[in-house]
Each structure stands twice: as C-alpha cells, then as structure tokens.
Structure 1
Amino acid sequence: MDSVISKFLNIPTTCISDVMDGLNNMHPAIKPLKEEYKFAGRALTVKIPVGDNLAVLKAIREAKAGDVIVIDAKGDQYRAIAGDFVIGMAQTLGVSAIVVDGVIRDVVGIKNLDFPVFCRGTAVAASGKAGIGEINVPISCGGTSVNPGDIIVGDADGVVVIPQAEEQSIMEKSLEKLKKDEIREMKVSRNVEAIKEYLDNMLLNK
C-alpha cells in the first residue's frame, strides 16, 4: 500500500468530503454490508449493462493487490453482480474492496468473508454472462465520476472518490481538517461554556 493510500485509510470519509465540498460522494444508498468496513485503494473500474457480470470476472482476474473494483451497474437492484463465491475469489486474489452501484446476493456468505462490499442492497437473481462490458474506462458510480486509478475511500458513512490528479492536495487538506476537528473536539466537548461560545460564534457569522 502506498503512503498516500495508507494516509487516506485513517481519514473519515466525512472529512474528505468536506474538503471537496461534498462534490465527489457516491449516492448515500451505496453503503457497507457491515458498518465496521473501512477501505482505501485505487479504482479498477467496470462498466456493465444491467444483468451481465462477465466484465466483473475479468476485472477480478486482472486486478492488482490492493485495487478497489468499482462497478457501474446502472443502479439495477434486480440482478446481483456477484455472490459469495465470486466475492471470495476477489478477496483471495488481493482485491481490497468492491463498490457497486447495484446489488449483490448470498449476503450471509459474503458477510462471513469479512470483506468490504459496498452496494445498494441485496437481491436473489443472478446476472448472465453475455460478455458485454468494459474495464478500466471512465464510469459513473452512484452519480459520481470515477476514473481508473482514482483513490476510493469507504467507511460507515459512505464512499468518496479522490481524483488522481488532486490526491496529494486533498490528502494534505484532509489531514489538516482532521487535526482541526480533533482540537475543536478536545476544546469544546462536554464544556458547557465552550459549547455556548462556539455556538454564539457560529450564529454571529451567519
């Protein structure tokens, strides 16, 4: 894991989102199967039509260790892009997470893998394998543009996309904001007078 990604792994998505003015967040319906899931990695993008997951298998085969497979499944919630068998293969090959604007199935089995999957929910029906789809192309996932190599960060609050060209600047600004938030928390939390002063200052500046 490179140093930039390891640093993003320790920054909440809410903090990163604030630095980017909330413009690079995926749709809030895309959530982790377990709240404790947290990941950061580079995007290996997948574009598929509704109901065809062969390109997902291709992405798993070509993924490098640490990659995040990000799938544009058009928000379809009827046919699952994968079940526990396919997700298990991705985990074994070193993929760090799967994010899909769509659904998965075999939810109990996938939870037992303890592997970060972020999706819109679960379904019963499987996808077909006609072979239509592309990998490593620009996509839209959860209403947000994702390019191959962008850094993707996910936690209990959702998923954010950090454009590759801006990753260093966004990382530095996110770390700075995190530090300020921590100082504010130590100063204000459980201190009645400090809380009143903080609220008064906020209200006066509006």
Structure 2
Amino acid sequence: MKTTDLCDQFPDRVHVCEIFFQSFGKRKMFSGEIYTVRVFEDNVLVKQALETIPAGSVLVVDGGGSKKCALLGDRLAGIAVNRGLSGIIVHGCIRDSADIAQLDIGVLALGTNPRKSRKEGKGETNIPVSFAGVDWEPGHYVYVDEDGVIVASEQLVLGE
C-alpha cells in the first residue's frame, strides 16, 4: 500500500516519520507489525530479535542514531530474509550494503559504517521507542515506500 494513499485516507490515524532514511534492501515497499529493540553500538539483541519475531513483521532498531558502528550486516539481514520478515528499520548504521542490496527485504538506516558493533548483549526488547518524531510501539504497524515511512496504531486497509 502506498504511503501517500494511506495518508490521504487516514490523515488522523497515521504518524509520518520526520527523518528520511536511506533504503538499502531490494524491497523499497514493505510493511508489517512492529517489534522493537533499543541498543547502543551493540547488536546482540538485534540478532536475537531477528531469530525470534514472527514472519511478516518489521524489526525497528533504536540505535540512538549512532553512526560510530554498524548494527546490521549481511549475515543478520540474511537471517531476516530466511525467516520471512518484511523489513528492518535501523536508527543507526548498517554495513555490507552492496550485499544487502541483493536481498529480498526492506532495510532502512541512517547510513553505513564498516565497523562492527560490540557484542555485550546490552539493551531492551519489545518496548516503546521514540525517534524521528514517531513513537514506535510494539504491535503497531509501519508502512514504508519511496515516499516515506508512516506508523499507525492498527493495520490499515484502503477502502475501509
């Protein structure tokens, strides 16, 4: 579903993300139920979430906007593809961007950094996080395409 159509039909039910993320995955349009992880320069919980959240969902990673290392690379993105996830949104950086561009998944991030993250397992999962002017609540829905990113508290269906 196009974000423009959803904004037009549900203007009071959608929240538009204020940051323009870069798109790295092969899928430019994706949507799904939100699952969250809050970490800082440590991606252990990102991997755990990718291995456990349901197919069709979107993992939202609040990395605090850090650009000092990558929170996602081709191996973790491959886990998401193999498990049938719809996409990953990283408020931080990724690496292996050329490889991720070949994977059938949506991946948004602030940019790239070749440095890998720490592996300490620190952070929180499945909690509300806020960045880019949006509250990302587990169980809410995100819709992404070339025009932007929007969040709604419920699954939206055009023509309702």
Structure 2 length as normaliser, TM-score?
0.89
SS of residue paired to 2:32? strand
Residue 107 to residue 14, structure 1, CA distance change in 2 (3 Å)? same
- The Cα offsets for residues 133-179 of structure 1, whole Å up to 9 and x where unpaired, read as 11111111323101111111000112111113xx4xxx36x547xxx
Q: Distance in 1 between matches of 2:27 and 2:59?
A: 19
Aligned equivalent of 1:24, options 15, 24, 39: 15
* Alpha-carbon distance change, 100 to 141 in structure 1, aligned in 2, over 3 angstroms: farther
Provide the aligned C-alpha RMSD in A: 2.1
Higher relative contact order (CA closer than 8 Å, sequence separation 6+):
2
Per-residue CA distance 1:22-58 (angstroms, 9 max, x = gap): 9712233213226861111100111112x11111011
For these two proteins, the number of residue pairs brought into alignment is 159
Counterpart of 1:144 in structure 2 is: 134
Segments of 5+ residues of structure 1 without an aligned counterpart are 1-9, 177-206
Please state how far the C-alpha of 1:15 moved relative to its aligned partner.
2.9
Match of 1:160 among 147, 150, 155: 150
Larger helix share, 1 or 2: 1
Q: Does residue 107 in structure 1 map to residue 97 in structure 2?
A: yes
Deviates more, 1:39-48 or 1:16-25: 16-25
Instruction: Indicate conservation of the 8 Å contact 1:146/1:161, yes or no.
Output: yes
1:15 aligns with 5
User: Relative to structure 1, is the Cα distance of residues 34 and 47 closer, same or farther in structure 2, using a 3 angstrom cutoff?
Assistant: closer
Cα displacement (A) at 1:82:
0.9
The percentage of counterpart residues that share the same residue type is 34
Question: Per residue, is there more strand in 1 or in 2?
Answer: 2
Determine the structure 1 residue equivalent to 2:38.
47
CA–CA distance in structure 2, aligned partners of residues 41 and 126 of structure 1: 27
Where 1:101 maps in the other structure, the secondary structure is: strand
Q: Deviation per CA, 1:81-108: give whole Å up to 9, x if none.
A: 1111111111101111001111110000
**1:71 maps onto 2:61 in alignment:** yes
**Which stretch shows the higher mean deviation, 33-42 or 99-108?**
33-42
- Amino acid in structure 2 at the alignment position of 1:28: I
Rounded to whole Å, the distance in 2 between the matches of 1:35 and 1:84 is 12
Structure 2 contact 81–104 (Cα < 8 Å) conserved: no
Tell which structure's C-alpha radius of gyration is larger. 1
